[in-house]
């Protein structure tokens, strides 16, 4: 069972999610404490494969309020922990044009901080409007059905 700490809702709005991988994340002690307090922002973050490793860029983990002078840098690149076979699979998929690697959420699993990263393809403005229209139609239909049942 996992407890979601922070979710990147914008990612599901801006991208078609193709494949999701759960990865560990290499954090320092004060970063873990800050994550548990939900002081994390995934808004502008993305992941890349560099030198056989997957790294998370742009993720802002606020400084731990009660930390000492050994506090961490809030926006440093963080290494994601995946099996080599998974990294190879992701690297091959990223070679395709238009695919990117975005973080979906941070969660606790067995006391450890994990991140779900997704292989995703960007949506066009038309796709976004179409989905909003579909959702609105679905809500309208369910309201009409509920009114009819009364």
pLDDT of residue 4: 86
Residue 75 pLDDT more than 70?
yes
- Count the helix, strand and coil residues of the chain and give each as a percent rounded to the nearest 5: 35, 40, 30
**Digit-coded pLDDT (tens) for 118-131:** 999 888 877 778 88
Instruction: Give backbone dihedrals phi and psi of 96, rounded to 5 degrees, phi first.
Output: -70, 145
**Digit-coded pLDDT (tens) for 79-100:** 999 999 999 999 988 887 888 9
pLDDT of residue 1: 63
Residue 69 pLDDT more than 80?
no
> Band of the pLDDT at 23, cuts 50, 70, 90?
very high
Pick the CATH number of 2-123 from 1.10.150.250, 2.60.40.10, 2.60.120.580, 2.40.280.10: 2.40.280.10
**Alpha carbon distances (Å) from 118 to 10, 57, 63:** 13, 14, 26
pLDDT of residue 82: 93
Mean pLDDT calculated for residue range 63-67 = 78
């Amino acid at each position: 069972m996992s407890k979601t700490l922070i979710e990147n809702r914008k990612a599901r709005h801006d991208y078609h999610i193709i494949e999701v991988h759960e990865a560990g994340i290499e954090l320092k002690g004060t970063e873990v404490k800050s994550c548990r307090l939900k002081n994390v922002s995934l808004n502008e973050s993305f992941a890349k494969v560099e030198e056989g490793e997957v790294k998370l860029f742009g993720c802002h983990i606020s400084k731990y309020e009660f930390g000492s002078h050994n506090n961490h840098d809030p926006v440093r690149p963080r290494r994601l922990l995946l099996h080599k076979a998974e990294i190879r699979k992701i690297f091959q998929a990223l070679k395709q044009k238009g695919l990117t690697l975005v973080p979906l959420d941070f969660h606790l699993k067995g006391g450890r901080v994990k991140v779900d990263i997704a292989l995703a393809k960007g949506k066009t403005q038309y796709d976004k409007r179409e989905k909003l229209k579909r959702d609105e139609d679905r809500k309208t239909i369910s309201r009409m059905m509920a009114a009819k049942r009364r």
